[in-house]
Amino acid sequence: MKFVIIGGDAAGMSAASKAKRNDDKLEVTVLEATTDVSYSACGMPYNVADAGRVMDDLVVRRAEVFREKQGIDLKLGYVARAIDRGRKKVIGVMAGKDPFEVQYDKLLIATGARPVTLDIPGADLPGVHVLKTLYDGRGIKDYLVSKKVKTVLIVGTGYIGLEMAEAFHARGINVVMVDILSRLLPWLPQEMAGVVEKELGDKGVEVHLGVKLKSLEQYGSGLRVFLEDKEFLVDMVLMATGIVPNSELAADAGLKIGPKNSIAVDKSLHTSDDDIFAAGDCADAFHVVTGNRVWIPLALRANRAGWAVADNVTGRDVKLEGIVGSAVFKVLDIEVARTGLSSSEAAEAGFDPVEALIKSRSRAHAHPGNQTIHVNLIADKKTGKLLGGCIIGKEGAALRIDSLAVALHAGMTTEQFFQCDMAYAPPFSPVWDPLLTAANQLLKNL
Amino acid sequence: MKFVIIGGDAAGMSAASKAKRNDDKLEVTVLEATTDVSYSACGMPYNVADAGRVMDDLVVRRAEVFREKQGIDLKLGYVARAIDRGRKKVIGVMAGKDPFEVQYDKLLIATGARPVTLDIPGADLPGVHVLKTLYDGRGIKDYLVSKKVKTVLIVGTGYIGLEMAEAFHARGINVVMVDILSRLLPWLPQEMAGVVEKELGDKGVEVHLGVKLKSLEQYGSGLRVFLEDKEFLVDMVLMATGIVPNSELAADAGLKIGPKNSIAVDKSLHTSDDDIFAAGDCADAFHVVTGNRVWIPLALRANRAGWAVADNVTGRDVKLEGIVGSAVFKVLDIEVARTGLSSSEAAEAGFDPVEALIKSRSRAHAHPGNQTIHVNLIADKKTGKLLGGCIIGKEGAALRIDSLAVALHAGMTTEQFFQCDMAYAPPFSPVWDPLLTAANQLLKNL
């Protein structure tokens, strides 16, 4: 049987490797448009932060290993252009010119996502970068050095924008951030977003919210930035204005499309064609809390979905229940973590959300190194069931969110969560873990 | 109504405070044998570690605050000697001599636990210490300074022994540990216990396992220590040989006794007398995984049970489902965390335990500061249900255990746990959190 995979990063290479482990007789072909496979995209900001490291440190497994050790037919520079479902063929061009056709029995679309940039004058000037692929990352690192970048404008204040603010700051570069949003991280309660904003300010990152970038112009070796009511000069611009799924191949082939133009898949990762799967940043997922389809492209789901596809292709029957949207990032010295629904997402999904917002400590009251930690917990008024939450602080926010994620998967009520026997020792938490303190407050509010 | 509490630490003062918050008309009397109330006993090793701090930094709330701000009749130096259930009175002596009787409508026994020491010659010499109360802690700190202690023998390698090894080490004191147990932390898989043993060795802590302490003798200002086949000199001895519940009052009053001589309570914290509750280190609890009564005296349960008693006394109806035995401690640079059943406990409880033991990393593969993390997960072969686990590593072990604790409370299977959507970013974990990697391995082993 021929298993063909379009896309050679997290989902694609996870699927290829696992399929071969499951069944070494399977013919596995991967068509990758670029020359990079299997790298830690999420590690790019931390790599950019460190002038002493090269981007290729982020490669998890090299192409030769996939080919020689694992027997995967990995084709680099193969750009898929169409899927002919009738003849079960992927059609495209290789090395930028030569056409190819590859026959499949089972196909996985793992084409990922791509950055969207603002459609403004100057968006295509040489100093304007995006960060999605290793190629982008190399470009940014080279540019920082070759142009002796001293000031960067980051457009967008999402995960990537904030992680890159930390990266540039670590290299001693002045960072200016702009966003059309009138406040930072709108899914965080105002007070918690304020902590992040203060951290950026304290470290000298300039943040302009509720402003519109009008255009960019070349100016010497740098760029002149025009907002609605002001202009300034920078050496480089990073557009961190979001991503969209690479779902055109699937849509053109008539496959069912899900939220935000992602490719719709069932719990076994089948698209609307039984012989075609989709996984990774191009595909949707079920949200465990709402049961609805969502598009929340993150690394764990991509890897997990890749494995599940491999299992299903090799005759196992694996179903993924879905995701709860757990995410975490670090911005300067602050950890920001979320899982489940925000209050407004909960209301939209038909719940009656009740919130608690507490401030506690990361360690016991008299323990040195103690940091403030903020926890926001959300439950449904009618059932008491937990719906989501977020945690921020200088330590202990990132790992704590997983306890809440597990509770969401288990469908726990606030009372059940409050009764959980969490571990305590002075270096790690107060006797009542901040999550329990938040649950206790939420019980009062419910 | 008169609510009388015997014991003024975690469980007792939590109950007193919450009862007053629930109903400020309630007459709340606390009989505390010592002159210390409401302190963080678990913080003592960290306080001993720091010569610059005084033990009283660990006091959470002072007696005057309970009396003046909260209206609690807090009686210090009141030693309860008997409970007359017929007349509903607590009988005892105050200030070491004067008899007293206190009438109750509802009574809480929160008498805690006390250290057991070895019954060997010399166990009562002046240089031999235990650590349970603030009084003990002050004694140790004074002794370290006044006797210029350079070498300490710690008898016992449990939590307290290991935490105190770290504390003495932090003060530049040589530490020798002995235990009759033939291996360290027998509830940990051998490989994981070996990591702790190596850490102790690397930091110069001498550990003798499988040896019996025969006797102690005064020798100058220090102590001569006699093992079966060797002897040596130390300046001080810490007996960290376990604790037993202070349940004699309850037993003498004819109340039902639970495992290891603890006081048996139901889910509402009632003893076998409907008007008498017990909470804290003197009382038992139900283990959520087995449903059996257990005695696992830890701080969170004490605080939680105190609150639950207060709620039940003031007319609310609160039931505690029980504990999963989550515990964590730090020894030098290693975090050691556990929850649920060990493999042998699981077998004893009638399960058919299957284990996984994996080594992973605390951060993404290319992220600086990455540490090894070991995870052991245990499930029942028949049902796949998770039964327990432990985690150790230089970072990220302590907080991760709570995710597993939540899963145990939820009664999750290994498969359900493996499907949990945990948060990922390079500074905090690999894409597959070590817990998920362990669950995946466990699924293969099941």
Same domain, B207 and B347: no
Backbone angles phi, psi at B240, to 5 degrees: -120, 60
- Where a domain ends, among B239, B257, B281? B239
Average pLDDT over residues A287-307: 97
Report the alpha-carbon angle B40-B42-B47, nearest 5.
80
Confidence of residue B365 (pLDDT cuts 50, 70, 90): confident
Give the pLDDT confidence score for residue A60 in this predicted structure: 86
> What gap in Å lies between CA B349 and CA B346, rounded to an integer?
5
Average pLDDT over residues A423-430: 97
- Where a domain ends, among A239, A259, A292? A239
Q: Is A416 on the interface with B (CB under 8 A)?
A: yes
Same domain, B25 and B73: yes
A318 inside domain: no
Q: Is B369 on the interface with A (CB under 8 A)?
A: no
Same domain, A229 and A136: yes
B359's CB contacts (< 8 A; 6+ apart) are B372, B373, B374
Per residue, the 3-state secondary structure of B88-128, as one string, reads CEEEEEECCCEEEEEECCEEEECCCEEECCCCCCCCCCCCE
How many other β-carbons are positioned within 10 Å of the β-carbon of residue B124? Answer: 9
How many other β-carbons are positioned within 10 Å of the β-carbon of residue A29? Answer: 20
Same domain, A251 and A158: no
Q: Is B330 on the interface with A (CB under 8 A)?
A: yes
Give the pLDDT confidence score for residue B205 in this predicted structure: 98
Mean pLDDT of chain A: 96
Same domain, A363 and A382: yes
Same domain, B434 and B338: yes
Structural domain containing residue A196: 117-239
Closest CA to A107 of A276, A343, A240: A276
B327 inside domain: no
Half-sphere exposure of B109 (CA within 13 A, CB side): 38
**Could A329 and B416 be called an inter-chain contact, meaning their C-beta atoms sit closer than 8 Å?**
no
Question: Is-catalytic flag, B282?
Answer: no
CATH number where B406 lies: 3.30.390.30
A71 inside domain: no
Same domain, B193 and B339: no
**Could B405 and A425 be called an inter-chain contact, meaning their C-beta atoms sit closer than 8 Å?**
no
A41 inside domain: no
Same domain, B177 and B192: yes
A52 inside domain: no
Distances (CA, A) of B182 to A101, B196, B209, B225: 66, 15, 5, 19
ipTM of the complex: 0.97
* pLDDT tens figures, B56-89: 889 888 999 999 999 999 999 999 999 999 999 9
- Where a domain ends, among A313, A346, A368? A313
Q: How many domains does chain A have?
A: 3
Best A331, A399, A401, A413 residue to mutate vs chain B (most B CBs within 10 Å): A399
B319 inside domain: no
Q: Are A11 and A41 in contact (CB under 8 A)?
A: no
Same domain, A103 and A175: no
Whether B402 has a pLDDT exceeding 90, the answer reads: yes
Same domain, B107 and B127: no
Backbone angles phi, psi at A116, to 5 degrees: -105, 135
B420 inside domain: yes
> Which of B298, B423, B426 minimises the CB distance to A405?
B423
Give the pLDDT confidence score for residue A415 in this predicted structure: 98
* pLDDT tens figures, A349-365: 999 999 999 999 999 98
A379 inside domain: yes
Same domain, A256 and A231: no
Give the pLDDT confidence score for residue B60 in this predicted structure: 86
Average pLDDT over residues B177-184: 96
Give the pLDDT confidence score for residue B434 in this predicted structure: 98
**Could B43 and A428 be called an inter-chain contact, meaning their C-beta atoms sit closer than 8 Å?**
no
Same domain, A161 and A221: yes
Q: Is B435 on the interface with A (CB under 8 A)?
A: yes
Q: Is A38 on the interface with B (CB under 8 A)?
A: no
State the count of interchain CB pairs (< 8 A) between A and B.
212
Best B47, B48, B420, B444 residue to mutate vs chain A (most A CBs within 10 Å): B420
